[in-house]
Amino acid sequence: MITATVHGRIGRDAELRYTPNGDAVADLALGCNYGRKGEDGNYPTQWVKASLWGKQAEALCEHLVKGTGIIAILSDVNVKTYTTKDGAVGNSLEGRVMAIEFTGAKPREEQGRSQAPQSQRAPAAAPRAAAPKPQQAAASLADMEDDIPF
Strands 24-33, 45-53: parallel, antiparallel or unpaired by DSSP?
antiparallel
In a domain, 61, yes or no: yes
**Cα-Cα-Cα-Cα dihedral of 4, 58, 16, 74, to 10°?**
0
Per-residue model confidence (pLDDT) at position 77: 94
In a domain, 38, yes or no: yes
Domains held by the chain: number: 1
Q: By C-alpha distance, which of 80, 24, 89 is closest to 51?
A: 24
Per-residue model confidence (pLDDT) at position 110: 52
Cα–Cα distance for residue pair 120/118, rounded to 1 Å? 5
Per-residue model confidence (pLDDT) at position 107: 65
In a domain, 103, yes or no: yes
Per-residue model confidence (pLDDT) at position 104: 76
In a domain, 17, yes or no: yes
pLDDT tens per residue, the chain (150 residues)?
889 999 999 999 998 999 999 999 999 999 999 999 999 999 999 999 999 999 999 999 999 999 999 999 999 999 999 898 999 998 889 999 999 999 976 665 555 444 443 333 334 444 444 444 444 444 444 544 555 554
CB 94 within 8 A of CB 80: yes
What Å distances lie between residue 27 and 4, 64, 129, 135, CA to CA?
Answer: 17, 10, 52, 53
In a domain, 60, yes or no: yes
User: SS3 for 77?
Assistant: strand
Residue 39's contacts (CB-CB under 8 Å, 6 or more residues apart) are none
In a domain, 37, yes or no: yes
What Å distances lie between residue 56 and 15, 23, 41, 96, 97, CA to CA?
Answer: 13, 11, 37, 12, 10
Q: By C-alpha distance, which of 71, 50, 66, 65 is closest to 8?
A: 71
Task: Identify the CATH number of the domain in which residue 43 sits.
Answer: 2.40.50.140
Per-residue model confidence (pLDDT) at position 90: 87
Residue 104 is part of which domain span? 4-108
